[in-house]
Amino acid sequence: MTIKNVRTQSPLVLTYANFVTPQFVANVVNVIGGSPLMSREVSEFNDLCQIAHAVVINIGTLKANELSDIVTLSKVATNLDKPVILDPVAVAVPFRSKAVQTLMREGHVDIIRGNAAEIAWFADIDFDSQGIDATGSGDVIAIAQLAAEKTGAIIALSGAKDVISDGHQTAVIETDVPLLSTNVGTGDALSSMIGAFVAESLTMENVTYTMATFKLAGLKASHQITTPGFYSMQLLDELAAITSEEVATFMTESVQYL
């Protein structure tokens, strides 16, 4: 849905957050017009999924004894027809790989948003990474398409080139804003922001729209601020101020459909 609709409907995005970035993630969902809520308590997942419009699972600081909780969360959400977005932080690290394999096998995920290295893991393609960061290079379009085919999920690959693919259709946004990668948590925030935009309908178009909106806000912020600290604040302000018309124009100029 468009920003206008997000602002009128204020969808509730339930995030199983990591303990590093939840404040920034909540603020991004909030300024864009959604309603953020974080929980890691399995006994309230049923109640929370009833009122949530989308559920985001971030494995950034997952512990072994929480794995069954995220599987449960994905199943409860899916049974209630709420879209589930996975942020597979540093998924190539073995504990995380096994956790995500279990989640995909025993639970359900509709959308996967990650950087190129994280998405390459789902495609079974080697891509250099250092922890949370993608450090290598590769054919990100082929990686996103293959990851979508292998997982059946909509893939949102982020980076200098964003690629969104459901395995049939692919959209590319190539707008370089290096400052966007200077803050820890921008990826996490983007994953939860996707939740707000797919609340009404789980489509590749809505995922593409979110990626374009975030990129445009990042681009506008980079015209105002050139240092990382204040940049993250400016990004929040740009997200709060961005209009449907601006996003529509940016999408016409910058989104390429393959």
For residue 167, state whether it binds ligand TZP (rule: CB under 6 A). no
**Would you count residue 60 as binding ligand TZP (CB under 6 A)?**
yes
Q: What is the largest CA-CA distance in the chain?
A: 46
Q: Do 191 and 87 touch, CB atoms closer than 8 A?
A: yes
Which residue is listed with tokens 């993630």? 25
User: Mask: binding to ligand ADP, 64-103, rule CB under 6 A, as x and -?
Assistant: ----------------------------------------
Q: Which residue's Cβ lies closest to ligand TZP?
A: 60
User: How far apart, in Å, are the Cα atoms of 176 and each of 129, 131, 222?
Assistant: 20, 22, 11
Determine, following the binding rule CB under 6 A, whether residue 186 of this chain makes contact with ligand TZP.
yes
Stretch that binds Mg ion, among 82-90, 119-127, 151-159, 168-176 (CB under 5 A): 82-90
Site for ligand TZP in 128-147 (CB under 6 A): 132
CA dist 145 and 101 (Å) reads 19
The burial of 160, by beta-carbon neighbours within 10 Å (0-12 exposed, 13-18 middle, 19 or more buried), is given as middle
Q: Which is nearer to ligand ADP, 12 or 179 (CB)?
A: 179
* d(C-alpha 69, C-alpha 103), whole Å: 10
d(C-alpha 65, C-alpha 54), whole Å? 24
Q: Name the residues that contact ligand TZP, by CB under 6 A.
A: 18, 20-21, 60-61, 89, 132, 184-188
Q: Name the residues that contact ligand ADP, by CB under 6 A.
A: 115, 132, 158-160, 162, 176-178, 180-181, 186-187, 190, 214-215
Please enumerate, by residue number, every residue annotated as part of a binding site for ATP. Answer: 113, 158
